[in-house]
Amino acid sequence: MTGHIWRNPLYFWGVEGAEKEVPSIPHKSPQDVWDETTASKAKMLPVGRLRYYYKWPGHGGLTWPRFRYWGTRRRALNIRSVYNPKTMRLEKTIVDKRPIWWVLGLLAFMLAPLAMPASFQNTLLTAGATFSIYAAINLCWMLIIGTAGIYSLASYAVVGAAAFGTSWLSINLGLPWWTLPLVGAGVGLVFGMIIAVPAIRLDGFYYALLTIGLNELCRVYALQSKQFGSSTGGLYGADTYIPQGWDQYDQSLLAYYACFGVMLAGLALYRFIDGRRLGRILKMAPEKREAFAEATGVDFRRARIWVFVISSIGLGFIGGFYAAHYRGVSFSIFSFDTVLLGLAMLVIGGIGRAEGAVVGTAIVILLDKVLLSTGPLRLILIGLIMLGVVLFLKGGLFGIKAQFRAWRDKKKSERRSMRAEKGGEMLPEEATETKDKDLLYWRRYDKMQREFLKTVISPELIEEHRKKPLGQHSEPLERLLLYFRRAPQNDKYAIVAVEPFKAYRIVALSGQRGVAPRIVEDKIYTSTDEAYHGVFLRRVQDLLES
Amino acid sequence: MDVGFILSNAIVLACIYGTLAIGLSITWSSVGLINLGYGFIFALSGYGAWLASQYISTNGVVVLTAGVLTGALGGLLVCALAFIPIHDKPNFTVRGLIATLAISLIGTQALLYFFGPRSKNLPDIFGFWKVNVAGIVLTSDKIGNVVVSIVVVTAVLLWMRSSRRGLEIRAMMMNPHAASIVGIGVRKTGFYVMAITGGLAGLAAVLLSQTYYISPFGGLAPMIKGVSIALCGGLGSVRGAVIAAIILGLNEALTARLLGGQYVLITQFLLIILILLVRPRGIAGILDRAREA
């Protein structure tokens, strides 16, 4: 730094008071501050910053005429097709791939009997049939728990009541098998009406506790009554749809596909309630938000009764089918453990989604059947899984993706707020609130400028200014002074003449018309140059402190 | 079957179920947890008392204490598993409900695994004697049950009214947020509450086992009775629970006398539904506004 010299060009023109050479500092480029500030300091992680979608090629002519279900505007797949402005190509993106997984999964389930090993065939076919029936029950239950958000635990009671009723009718009145589901649907309707009445008045837990009690009531009543077979542990001997003349394998296969059909019907019912008007009404009026729904003109009470009635008819239908499938029904359908296992299926899969109900059922049935030899241990295992899911997951297995994304976004925003530089720049929250976005860029630029000018300030410059406050200066001092002069009027320093040519004093302008400047210090300067230098020193100090 | 016999039975059952209902009610109102693992705590403390009677002593006080202590331990277990990890997470009430159900599933199956399906019975802790009051024969276990349950519940309520910890619990009942602001630890109080209510369940288990047997799934029916009474009286209200216990006990006695034993549950639920349709928060339910905040 020493020995660096600024040659005054005015000296050679003979300007009064111009020195030939003034000690100064080496040149510093303002570009460095700019480069340093604008460089990205974000840690670039190799994965997980953007969602990846495969881009299918497309042809422009095929963008709009797509396959739609007849009579609706719904498409089989939600495909978004846009032109990429850089490559000028059509890119098709499958936004929602779930229908593909559904079709593949159901196809696999349909073709599974072909691939089953011969030794386990019978077990697996029976397990598959059980799975399908329970999946259908859980889908209907999910309409109440998931879509309507009402914690009813009486769904198995409805199924059991329908199964017991139809079995009794079939045994005593000789009803043929094909009437059983229909009669069961009627029983379910009556039962659904009965359990829907308290649901209008009671909320949440009162209702959950009441339905547990109803379930227990059904169990005790069936256990104690002679006509429901309290001595045999259940009611058996109903008519069945499986021809008794067939051999064992054909019977199992027929049962497998019949139950599969019931599950498909359950899926269709779920789709048609949950995805359409009724489901949307119910989902916008969950517990604790009824007042809002009512204020917007939604009749949620009616919707709740409807969903109870529809799902109870479905449950009753399944109950009738259950009786026709197993040729009867045992008391275990009313037991508390059945309700708990059913709830475990829903919770493990994720409440509020069809895939949750089906996959959760598959997991629990698989554990239940595969580990049958371990006795109570398998139920303990299922309970542990259920507890783990409740404690750690928000939406069951199928909610893991969303939960992970939410967690990652939280972490991202935490890091972003740690990166944000304070002072000069605005905080992220402030930046989104301010109307004048120009202000953001002005502050950022101003901060860079101040940082650069702080590096420039040195004893040489101050000395140079002291000698000659006005006139031509060296390049760094000139930058400094230009910055000071451009400051806004508010709180800008000025000089006031107390007595011309004898006494000057430094004041700060108010920046408002009609408001007098305030006096900054008591010191009296004897000349204008001295006062100019005093202002300069104050400004330098303010700059260094900012 | 005379009226006095039925009436005395109903009073005994009302006392025991009332104890359970008060336990459930206190749990819900102070920590906001619907403890459906209560049946498991009930069965667990029954087995605890049975173990004590097998290996320590058949003395009534020892058996009763063992039952209450095991119940308190069960309550602490449920608290540590279902309250501590999720009490500050979103959707706590539903998740807590499901978590206690899961604990109930695990616990009852574990009891089945360790003790087998055969039910056990406890010794007669109140001895064996009879009193004839105005033509009604009162056996020792009836008098003992009523006296012990009333004494213990009264002691608990007095303790809650007069002690420092009781003040903390009542503060939590009124407004959990404000309580935590003035320095009442939510988790610590949660442990106290769950230990006390677990102890009440243990007491009820030992008392009820004078009439019924102890089995892994034996806690379910008493829990449902207790839940019904708590519901009917209004969750969170001790006075409501007492009134509901008397009403339901009367209903049970009358139905058994007039219609027959198998109709007891039906009339009971019709009565509960009727009461809840008229007063959706139960007979004395007042607390939900504060809980929602």
- Return mean pLDDT, chain A: 87
Hey, CA dihedral for B10, B11, B13, B18, is it positive or negative?
positive
Whole-number pLDDT of residue A190: 92
- In-domain check, residue A272: yes
Q: Do B110 and A216 touch (CB under 8 A)?
A: no
Mutate to test the interface with B, among A156, A193, A211, A336 (most CBs of B within 10 A): A336
- For residues A62 and A185, membership in a common domain is answered with no
Which residue is listed with tokens 């974000």?
A42
C-alpha B245 chain-centroid distance: 12
Q: Do A221 and B105 touch (CB under 8 A)?
A: no
CB-based contact B217:B108 (threshold 8 Å) = yes
Q: Residue A382: its chain B contacts at CB < 8 A?
A: 105
Q: Do A390 and B86 touch (CB under 8 A)?
A: yes
d(CA B174, CA A80): 53
Q: Do A383 and B224 touch (CB under 8 A)?
A: no
**B 113-172 residues with CB below 8 A of A?**
113
- For residues A129 and A268, membership in a common domain is answered with yes
C-alpha A509 chain-centroid distance: 53
State whether residue B283 sits within 8 Å of chain A by CB.
no
d(CA A261, CA B206): 51
- For residues A73 and A203, membership in a common domain is answered with no
State whether residue B246 sits within 8 Å of chain A by CB.
no
By C-alpha distance, which of A43, A50, A4, A44 is closest to A23? A4
- For residues A141 and A212, membership in a common domain is answered with yes
d(CA A80, CA A88): 16
- For residues A148 and A85, membership in a common domain is answered with no
* Domain extent for A75: 56-94
- For residues A479 and A331, membership in a common domain is answered with no
- For residues A80 and A187, membership in a common domain is answered with no
Q: What is the mean pLDDT of residues B118-136?
A: 75
Q: Minimal Cα–Cα distance from A124 to chain B, Å?
A: 26
pLDDT band at B292 (very low <50, low <70, confident <90, very high): very low
- In-domain check, residue A12: no
State whether residue A210 sits within 8 Å of chain B by CB.
yes
Q: Give B198-209 pLDDT, tens digit per residue.
A: 999 999 998 888
Q: Minimal Cα–Cα distance from B1 to chain A, Å?
A: 20
End residue of a domain, out of A336, A362, A391: A336
- In-domain check, residue A262: yes
State whether residue B94 sits within 8 Å of chain A by CB.
yes
Give chain A's domain count.
3
Whole-number pLDDT of residue A20: 87
- The CA–CA distances, whole Å, from A297 to A288, A293, B164 equal 16, 7, 50
Tokens of B191: 């442990």
- For residues A328 and A231, membership in a common domain is answered with yes
Whole-number pLDDT of residue A333: 87
Q: Give A504-531 pLDDT, tens digit per residue.
A: 999 999 988 899 999 988 899 999 999 9
End residue of a domain, out of A286, A302, A336: A336
Closest Cα in chain A to B235: A206
Q: What is the mean pLDDT of residues A113-128?
A: 86
Closest Cα in chain B to A382: B106
State whether residue A161 sits within 8 Å of chain B by CB.
no
- In-domain check, residue A456: yes
pLDDT band at A49 (very low <50, low <70, confident <90, very high): low
pLDDT at A394 over 90: no
Mutate to test the interface with B, among A144, A209, A301 (most CBs of B within 10 A): A209
Q: Residue A230: its chain B contacts at CB < 8 A?
A: none
- For residues A88 and A154, membership in a common domain is answered with no
d(CA A355, CA A361): 10
Q: Do A205 and B93 touch (CB under 8 A)?
A: yes
Phi and psi dihedrals of A17, rounded to 5? 80, 0
Hey, CA dihedral for A403, A409, A411, A414, is it positive or negative?
negative
DSSP letter string, B8-39: HHHHHHHHHHHHHHHHHHHHHHHH----TTHH
**Confidence check on the interface: ipTM exceeds 0.85, yes or no:** yes
- For residues A88 and A190, membership in a common domain is answered with no
Q: Residue A205: its chain B contacts at CB < 8 A?
A: 28, 34, 93, 97, 235
Q: What is the mean pLDDT of residues B156-162?
A: 88
Residue A317 burial class via C-beta count within 10 angstroms: exposed 0-12, middle 13-18, buried 19 and up:
buried
Q: What is the mean pLDDT of residues A101-107?
A: 95
| Residue A204 one-letter amino acid | G
End residue of a domain, out of A286, A308, A336: A336
Q: Do B277 and A210 touch (CB under 8 A)?
A: no
pLDDT band at B120 (very low <50, low <70, confident <90, very high): confident
- In-domain check, residue A61: yes
pLDDT band at A422 (very low <50, low <70, confident <90, very high): low
Q: Give A280-302 pLDDT, tens digit per residue.
A: 999 998 887 888 998 999 988 88
SS (H, E, C) A229-251: CCCCCEEECCCCCCCCCCCHHHH
Whole-number pLDDT of residue B75: 93
Q: Report all structural domains of chain B as residue ranges with CATH numbers, in order of start.
A: 3-292 (1.10.3470)
- In-domain check, residue A11: no
Q: Minimal Cα–Cα distance from A118 to chain B, Å?
A: 33
Q: Minimal Cα–Cα distance from B171 to chain A, Å?
A: 23
Q: Give B235-276 pLDDT, tens digit per residue.
A: 777 788 888 888 888 888 788 778 777 777 788 888 888 888
- In-domain check, residue A350: no
Give the count of beta carbons closer than 10 Å to the beta carbon of residue A327: 18
- For residues A198 and A243, membership in a common domain is answered with yes
CB proximity list for A153: less than 8 A, separation 6 or greater: A208, A211, A212, A215, A339, A343
**% of chain B beyond a pLDDT of 90:** 16
- Return mean pLDDT, chain B: 83
- In-domain check, residue A69: yes
- For residues A274 and A210, membership in a common domain is answered with yes
Q: Do B94 and A151 touch (CB under 8 A)?
A: yes
